[in-house]
Structure 1
Amino acid sequence: MATIVSYTARPRRLIQALLLLLAVAVGVGAYALVGLGRFDELPAKLLQVGIGALVLVAVLQIAVMWRAPYADPVILPIVVLLNLLGVTMIESVHAANEIYGLRSSASADRQMLWAVIGVVLCVALLVLLRDHRWLRRYTWISAVAGGVLLLLPLVPVIGSARNGSKIWISVAGFSFQPAELAKIAFAVFFAGYLVARRDTLALAGPKVLGIHLPRWSDFGPILVAWGFAMAVLVFETDLGTSLMFFGLFVVMLYVATDRLSWLVIGAVMFLPPAVFAATQMSHVRTRITCWLDPLSGENYSSCEQISQGLFGLANGGLVGTGLGEGRPDMVPHAESDFIFSSFAEEMGMVGAFALLLLYLLLVQRAIRAAVGISDGFGTLLAGGLGFVMALQVFVVVGGVTRVIPLTGLTLPFLAAGGSSLVCNWIIAGILVRLSDAARRPAARQVEGTLPGSPARSGQEAIA
């Protein structure tokens, strides 16, 4: 039987409860302003949205107090606020489309339904996953599941193509983007695989141009990851998803080994396929053209989305047109791919930077959890999930603002789409569990093993 000597720590559940209420107040208040801006009256479903949001945050608060009392008190309030702001902007786009007689593919009601499903899965994960190290037992199962999910859109019967990329599956009238779930599975696999082989991968090999390269025998894992990324790029013609998965592996490899050479190798390996996609794939070539010169007369018709998005950003100016007073109906896919443009138009540069600050704070909390966890698996998993979120935000916002070419990724928690929202809520649940492990009071094991922990021989083998 283990004897545990623990030390006091502050759970900060009251702070989390207050922040959750503040997030609901801001989100529901923004939803109300959309109705006032569009129709000069409060939205008909304001009460339902407000009560629903309060019920969801109450469930989250109870689940955290019960299963993860020492979790970071900031993660869930940020996620809730981003989710409600997304619902607000989707309602604004939907209302504008109704006013100007356009068909809307998304609605706030549907997004709230997906949010409920996401919160339920988040709470279920917190209740069932008592120790994040349990996930390490499923390292290779996660690899197989991630590979199957990633290649599932290639199945002829259920795979479907949209906007030039074949990354969707359709079953019984419902569409799902399996890559969103695959990124979680691959993050678990990479963390489990790399923590077991970090010493081997960190060994120095030949030195070329001042950079210590890894040994040739250690190139196997990165070649397999590169092969999966290339399969997505070539067969599903999706540069964004391919970049996300390969970047996830390379960054986690760098975190595991602390060797900058892996980042250089990853960049060099991804460059030729990116050039191939830009020159040989028509829709990627079009995106490159629209990135370089979207407003010219010959390109304007094929680059209408990026052009209208830029006009929306310009129309927003410094402080925005006001919630419910913009023209997101002018931008194709304003509720999904270009929701950042819709948000920036109505909230201005100030609101756009505030939104980016929320994402920055969320990523910082993930990194903070990674630093605070005592085992390498948790460190890699938290760092990998934080990086995936940061990369998605950079790629989406960079594409809308013409910093980089457009890709098919979505803005986490904000953009319309059930698969993205539900999977990001699962990521939020994992980060809450990891932050709880990082912030728990220090405990010293005198003899035996900790209850619920995987059996170990000798001292903890994960640095």
Structure 2
Amino acid sequence: MAQQSTLMGFVHRRRRGAELFLLVLALVVGIGAYAAVGLGVQGKVPADMLGYGGWLAALLIGAHIVIRFVAPYADPVLFPVVAALNGLGLAVIHRIDLAKQAEGDAHDFAQQQLTWMTLGVILFALTLLVLRDHRVLQRFTYTSGLAAIVLLLLPLLPGIGATINGARIWIHLGPFSLQPGEIAKVLLVIAFAGYLVLHRDALALAGRRVLFVDLPRGRDLGPILAMWLVSLGILVFQQDLGSSLLFFGLFLIMLYVATERPGWLVVGALMFVGGALLAYAAVPHVRIRFDIWLHPFDYYDSGQSYQPVEAKFGMGWGGLIGRGFGDGDPNRVPYANSDFILSSIGEELGLTAVMAVLMMYGLIVERALRTALICRDGFGKLVATGLASAFAIQVFVVVGGVTGLIPLTGLTTPFLSYGGSSLIANWVIIALLLRISDQARRPMPTISDDTAAFSQDDTQVVRIG
């Protein structure tokens, strides 16, 4: 009984003080990196140092205050890690801006990224303020799925759709360019989670057994076949290898977690290999990406593999500890501030900084999966698992493409790369994870003394009303 009382009396501490301490360290990373860029490139601290540092601190501390009041039991590590990544990304983008300005390019992408970050943090706070219970999202399972499909189709519409670097994943709305797939990613996680909660019992039924693996029944292959066709459509019509891999991998992981059937992984892997071979044979853009990956130097003179080869040269030049801000030449890569920002970090801050960045991404995934483990409802478990999987797959695809582990794709590096759509969507993802973790870590409601009585034979009787 004493042990039972101890277990029932256990509650998670709020740990908001620990979050604030970690947030201060994150601000030191972000503001310190910004100052180091000015010292390394221009030989002096940036003139707007106080204004930049003050705005960044006010923005993040304000978000911390919102968490303290509306999600007091939320995970204390997620928010500071994300703040550190975003601050480092701003500093590296500013470094590349200075290099391009020296060559006559007057764009200030760092200032635009700070504006997008401000909007992202505001939406982060609004999500926490408006969404007090993540389980409400389950009501919008099919609405979220329909909205995600509409967003994925928008780039194909004439007039607003745009093709950039061979991939038709952008839309133009006046002076702004957006990637609807970033928002669709969040909606698909909600739709997948709601669907799998309702149908996981049927999907978990075993069919034919092959080599010690219970394969799913043929009648249950509809959902994974539909998602495979959607991913293949993205690959063929939008020529976006990264998003196709992300969406199909996301659904496959959530399906496996919901059903606990390894047979789904076998079926999904076979479908993925078949789709990749089909895309290689039928889609020239995909075939060129694969050929560049296998033989990058054969395409260097033509310029088709210029970026990945220069990125490898830069990371090799950076070595273990890097050349320091201002002593490298990351702007040799045309998209050094977006798709290849990790190579910019590797060149000027070295392999050590790249490993630190990967560790921070690993922390985000680990804390999200921890939230899924302790969550008390099936929908929240699947949403947290899906969001963690989205981060893990996206980072793997981006880092693998930059380092040459897998063919290059067009996904952005979360919180580091320049891009408003990705940054805003990822801040909303962190808000959803904090809301789920707050719900999971809250103490269980207790039964007060005036609502319960015990009979003489020690049988507990609960009075209702």
TM-score range, shorter chain: over 0.9
The question of 1:38 aligning with 2:38 is answered no
- Residue matched to 1:455: none
- Say what the alpha-carbon RMSD is for the aligned residues: 1.7
Letter in 2 for 1:13: R
Letter in 2 for 1:419: S
1:44-55 matched pairs, under 5 angstroms: 44-55=47-58
**Shift, 1:425, TM fit:** 0.3
* Residues 1:316 and 1:407: Cα distance change in structure 2 (over 3 Å): same
Kept in 2: contact 1:33–1:324 (CA 8 A): no
Structure 1 unmatched runs, 5+: 447-463
Quick one: distance in 2 between partners of 1:253 and 1:165? 28
**Shift, 1:6, TM fit:** 7.8
- Residue matched to 1:316: 318
Letter in 1 for 2:428: I
Q: Secondary structure at the match of 1:42?
A: coil
- Residue matched to 1:276: 278
CA offsets 1:352-394 (integer angstroms, 9 cap, x no match): 1011000001100000000010111111000110010011111
Kept in 2: contact 1:79–1:413 (CA 8 A): yes
Quick one: distance in 2 between partners of 1:173 and 1:272? 40
Kept in 1: contact 2:300–2:306 (CA 8 A): no
Match of 1:285 among 258, 276, 287: 287
Match of 1:247 among 246, 249, 254: 249
Kept in 1: contact 2:372–2:380 (CA 8 A): yes
Quick one: distance in 1 between partners of 2:12 and 2:311? 48
Match of 1:124 among 116, 123, 126: 126
Letter in 2 for 1:138: F
Match of 1:90 among 84, 93, 108: 93
* Residues 1:133 and 1:445: Cα distance change in structure 2 (over 3 Å): farther
Q: TM-score when scaled to structure 1?
A: 0.92
Quick one: distance in 2 between partners of 1:28 and 1:162? 33
Quick one: distance in 2 between partners of 1:20 and 1:359? 16
Quick one: distance in 1 between partners of 2:11 and 2:413? 38
Match of 2:212 among 210, 213, 231: 210
Letter in 2 for 1:307: V
- Residue matched to 1:69: 72
Match of 1:179 among 181, 202, 214: 181
Match of 2:60 among 57, 60, 63: 57
Match of 1:134 among 115, 133, 136: 136
Kept in 2: contact 1:293–1:299 (CA 8 A): no
1:233-244 matched pairs, under 5 angstroms: 233-244=235-246
CA offsets 1:248-297 (integer angstroms, 9 cap, x no match): 10000000011111111111112222122223323322221221121247
- Residue matched to 1:166: 168
Kept in 1: contact 2:13–2:73 (CA 8 A): yes
The question of 1:144 aligning with 2:146 is answered yes
Kept in 1: contact 2:11–2:441 (CA 8 A): no
- Residue matched to 2:462: none
Match of 2:342 among 340, 360, 374: 340
CA offsets 1:338-363 (integer angstroms, 9 cap, x no match): 00000111110111101100000110
Quick one: distance in 2 between partners of 1:19 and 1:246? 35
Kept in 1: contact 2:78–2:364 (CA 8 A): yes
Quick one: distance in 1 between partners of 2:149 and 2:298? 41
**Shift, 1:68, TM fit:** 0.4
Deviates more, 1:224-233 or 1:386-395: 224-233
Q: Secondary structure at the match of 1:123?
A: helix
**Shift, 1:105, TM fit:** 5.7
Match of 1:100 among 92, 98, 103: 103
Over the matched positions of the two proteins, sequence identity in percent amounts to 49
Q: Secondary structure at the match of 2:297?
A: coil
Q: TM-score when scaled to structure 2?
A: 0.92
CA offsets 1:205-244 (integer angstroms, 9 cap, x no match): 1123432111112111112211211221111111110111
- Larger Cα-atom Rg: 2
**Shift, 1:106, TM fit:** 5.6
- Residue matched to 1:26: 29
- Residue matched to 2:382: 380
Quick one: distance in 2 between partners of 1:283 and 1:38? 38
Match of 2:391 among 384, 389, 399: 389
* Residues 1:104 and 1:366: Cα distance change in structure 2 (over 3 Å): farther
Kept in 2: contact 1:205–1:213 (CA 8 A): yes
Letter in 1 for 2:19: Q
Kept in 2: contact 1:6–1:442 (CA 8 A): no
**Shift, 1:132, TM fit:** 0.6
* Residues 1:396 and 1:105: Cα distance change in structure 2 (over 3 Å): farther
Letter in 2 for 1:321: R
Match of 2:14 among 8, 11, 14: 11
Structure 2 unmatched runs, 5+: 1-7, 449-465
* Residues 1:199 and 1:176: Cα distance change in structure 2 (over 3 Å): same
Q: Secondary structure at the match of 1:230?
A: helix
Quick one: distance in 2 between partners of 1:409 and 1:76? 22
Quick one: distance in 2 between partners of 1:445 and 1:336? 54
Quick one: distance in 2 between partners of 1:200 and 1:139? 18
Letter in 1 for 2:293: W
The one of the two structures with greater contact order (alpha-carbon pairs below 8 A, sep at least 6) is 1
Deviates more, 1:122-131 or 1:286-295: 286-295
Quick one: distance in 1 between partners of 2:389 and 2:134? 18
Deviates more, 1:31-40 or 1:41-50: 41-50
Quick one: distance in 1 between partners of 2:205 and 2:265? 15
- Residue matched to 2:451: none
CA offsets 1:138-179 (integer angstroms, 9 cap, x no match): 101101011111111011111000111100000112100000
Quick one: distance in 2 between partners of 1:295 and 1:341? 18
Deviates more, 1:216-225 or 1:176-185: 216-225
* Residues 1:222 and 1:200: Cα distance change in structure 2 (over 3 Å): same
Kept in 2: contact 1:300–1:307 (CA 8 A): no
CA offsets 1:73-112 (integer angstroms, 9 cap, x no match): 00000011100111011001111111233x3766111000
Letter in 2 for 1:15: A
CA offsets 1:407-439 (integer angstroms, 9 cap, x no match): 111100000000000000000100111111121
1:297-446 matched pairs, under 5 angstroms: 301-444=303-446
* Residues 1:211 and 1:104: Cα distance change in structure 2 (over 3 Å): farther
Quick one: distance in 2 between partners of 1:175 and 1:287? 24
Kept in 2: contact 1:229–1:243 (CA 8 A): yes
Quick one: distance in 2 between partners of 1:325 and 1:281? 41
Quick one: distance in 2 between partners of 1:44 and 1:108? 15
* Residues 1:261 and 1:104: Cα distance change in structure 2 (over 3 Å): farther
Q: List structure 1 runs of 4+ shifted beyond 6 angstroms.
A: none
Letter in 2 for 1:96: A
